[in-house]
């Protein structure tokens, strides 16, 4: 038996059923059901069948990097820095289990307000970083959907920073003066800048991948096509953007945690005690202003 599958005669009705009887090839070929196709037409049908099978397998198989079946250079760096950022963001709420015994309403109100910032910081992991990790490790074969999820998460986070956060910072400033709110504003401004970079780099990579897929007509990109459209720099830009977000987080968490520690210290002070520090409640309690150490 010949090892070349092309040497096996094929029946027109079977192969045209497999590739779709309404195809242009089927309509243009002169055939009768049950009869063998001419050799030239057989070759054309086999080529069409191979292409169809190749595309079908490419779409259904595992696609570990940005929706593509082959590895994308630089994707491991994106995973590494995203994992580090995710772990860091998850620590943002660790100190919120503080219980204050003070009857001073503004101590409790300040703790609750700090919780607002801590929970929002932690939410960046769920809205941006986790979807990005899912994108890099994508196995769906759908190049578009996971990119869309990441970009939507970035937009939601940016919207909160731009439109909701200023009001929340103002509430905090009314409780403990402006020093803590100023530091948090700087920290979240840093996050906003990093997210701007991330949005631009993710959008750029998506455009490059979609252009490559369009040319190749398959998500299983030839190496040369992948290299021509998807540069290592483009992937590293995403890793650098995630890192630009990551480096902002420690200052935010430190501002929240250090202020909580000052609240706990103030909670243990007598009402008439005045402790000198940069963080101070603007109201008077009794005859003395309560200041946080």
Q: What is the chain's pLDDT, residue by residue, as a tens digit (293 residues)?
A: 444 434 444 434 433 333 344 434 444 444 444 444 454 544 454 344 434 433 433 333 333 467 676 778 888 999 999 999 999 999 999 888 877 777 788 899 999 999 999 999 999 999 999 999 999 988 666 777 789 999 999 999 999 999 999 999 999 999 988 899 999 999 999 999 999 999 999 999 999 988 888 888 887 777 888 889 989 999 999 999 999 999 999 999 999 999 999 998 888 764 433 322 233 333 322 223 333 33
Is 281 among the domain residues? no
What's the domain range around 109?
75-268
Is 94 among the domain residues? yes
Is 253 among the domain residues? yes
Is 198 among the domain residues? yes
The verdict on pTM exceeding 0.85 is no
In angstroms, how far apart are the furthest CA atoms of the chain?
106
Q: What is the C-alpha to C-alpha distance for residues 220 and 212, in angstroms, rounded to an integer?
A: 10
For 65, 82, 131, 265, the CA distances from 73, given in Å and listed in that order, are 9, 16, 20, 51
Is 141 among the domain residues? yes
Q: Residues with Cβ < 8 Å from 181, sequence gap 6 or more?
A: 169, 170, 172, 173
Is 59 among the domain residues? no
Is 24 among the domain residues? no
Is 64 among the domain residues? no
Q: How many domains does the chain have?
A: 1
């Amino acid at each position: 038996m010949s090892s070349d599958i092309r040497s096996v005669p094929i029946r027109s009705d079977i192969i045209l059923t497999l590739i779709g009887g309404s195809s242009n090839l089927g309509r243009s070929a002169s055939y009768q059901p049950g009869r063998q196709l001419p050799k030239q037409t057989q070759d054309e049908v086999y080529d069409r069948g191979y292409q169809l099978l190749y595309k079908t397998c490419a779409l259904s198989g595992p696609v570990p990097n940005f929706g593509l079946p082959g590895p994308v250079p630089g994707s491991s760096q994106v995973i590494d820095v995203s994992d580090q950022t995710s772990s860091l963001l998850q620590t943002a709420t660790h100190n919120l289990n503080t219980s204050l015994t003070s009857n001073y309403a503004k101590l409790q109100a300040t703790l609750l307000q700090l919780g607002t910032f801590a929970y929002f910081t932690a939410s960046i992991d769920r809205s941006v970083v986790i979807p990005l990790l899912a994108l890099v490790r994508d196995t769906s074969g759908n190049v578009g959907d996971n990119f869309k999820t990441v970009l939507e998460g970035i937009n939601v986070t940016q919207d909160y920073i731009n439109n909701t956060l200023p009001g929340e910072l103002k509430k905090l400033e009314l409780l403990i003066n402006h020093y803590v709110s100023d530091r948090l504003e700087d920290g979240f401004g840093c996050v906003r800048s990093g997210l701007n970079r991330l949005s631009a780099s993710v959008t750029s990579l998506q455009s490059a991948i979609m252009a490559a897929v369009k040319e190749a007509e398959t998500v299983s990109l030839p190496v040369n096509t992948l290299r021509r459209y998807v540069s290592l720099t483009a992937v590293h830009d995403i890793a650098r953007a995630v890192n630009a977000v990551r480096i902002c987080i420690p200052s935010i968490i430190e501002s929240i945690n250090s202020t909580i520690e000052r609240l706990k210290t103030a909670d243990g002070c007598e009402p008439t005690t005045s402790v000198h520090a940069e963080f101070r409640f603007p109201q008077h309690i009794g005859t003395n202003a309560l200041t946080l150490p």
